[in-house]
């Protein structure tokens, strides 16, 4: 039974409960082999703890999504109020009709499931925040493609350094006036991180670029036909102190879904 098919008994109590209920936020996961006590390549679903912490701190209830059957996606989305399509491995080039040139940790099955999730969320105008890989998948979902490597020495996106250094990398992005993103942060310059080596290539039909880095790499996208969707290339969960407004926007928008 869907949460929206609850019995009608006790209507006043139901309304009061709904007004207090925290929105449930679904988050995609990264399936990959990792070293554990049982194997040096244990097949695990993973998600960085910062995603969960960011949703919780902004008032949402985080729920994690493994790779489900595509036919089960509508039932899964019936049970939630918002979606975060999280970072992870590279989008497989087969998902946008290209040959592999420079890809890592790509998983066509992950693409298949998450593209189905995006399609269903789009049909429902489900409040959605797409982050890094999530933004790249959104572009693919709208018929765009990807640049398999955007890094260049001396640019805002230098070659990815050692893990201890990558979290400290920062660069400016320019947010377009009049965009949804400007409604969250304000227009103009702001600072983002750079934990990616791929980026948007041909922009999908129906998507608007709403932020770019100084090297012209696309840093944010917004779908014209999906008013409650924002997508950013950087990782706001890693810089929650400054980027909390994105998660506040998602949870705040979702409250209209849950009430």
Active site residues: 132, 235, 237
Backbone phi, psi, residue 109, to 5°: -65, -40
> What residues form DSSP beta bridges with 131?
232
Return contacts of 160-167, CB within 8 angstroms, 24+ apart.
Answer: 160/195, 160/197, 166/194, 166/195, 167/193, 167/195, 167/238
Closest CA to 212 of 183, 186, 173: 173
Q: Are 114 and 84 in contact (CB under 8 A)?
A: no
Closest CA to 127 of 251, 7, 234: 251
The token pair that represents 72 in the structure block: 């089960």
CA distances from 17 to 93, 200, 255, 258 (A): 46, 42, 13, 10
Closest CA to 196 of 65, 103, 94: 103
Beta carbons within 10 angstroms of residue 32's beta carbon: 16
DSSP helix/strand/coil, 99: coil
> What residues form DSSP beta bridges with 85?
130
């Amino acid at each position: 039974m869907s949460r929206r098919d609850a019995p009608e008994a006790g209507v006043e109590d139901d309304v009061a409960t709904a007004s207090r209920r925290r929105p449930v936020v679904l988050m995609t996961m990264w399936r990959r082999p990792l070293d554990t006590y049982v194997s040096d390549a244990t097949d695990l679903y993973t998600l960085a703890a910062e995603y969960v912490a960011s949703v919780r701190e902004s008032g949402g209830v985080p729920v994690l999504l493994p790779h489900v059957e595509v036919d089960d996606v509508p039932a899964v989305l019936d049970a939630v109020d918002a979606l975060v399509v999280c970072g992870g491995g590279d989008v497989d080039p087969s998902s946008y009709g290209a040959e592999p040139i420079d890809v890592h940790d790509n998983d066509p099955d992950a693409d298949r499931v998450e593209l189905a999730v995006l399609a269903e969320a789009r049909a429902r105008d489900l409040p959605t925040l797409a982050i890094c890989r999530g933004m790249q998948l959104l572009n693919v979902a709208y018929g765009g493609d990807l640049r398999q490597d955007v890094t260049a020495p001396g640019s805002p996106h230098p070659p990815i350094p050692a893990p201890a250094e990558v979290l400290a990398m920062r660069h400016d992005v320019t947010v377009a006036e009049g965009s949804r993103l400007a409604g969250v942060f304000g227009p103009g310059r702001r600072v983002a991180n750079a934990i990616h080596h791929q980026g948007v290539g041909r922009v999908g039909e129906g998507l608007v670029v709403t932020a770019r880095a100084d090297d012209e790499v696309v840093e944010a996208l917004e779908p014209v036909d999906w008013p409650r969707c924002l997508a950013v290339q950087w990782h706001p969960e890693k810089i929650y102190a400054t980027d909390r407004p994105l998660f506040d926007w998602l949870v705040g928008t979702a409250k209209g879904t849950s009430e």
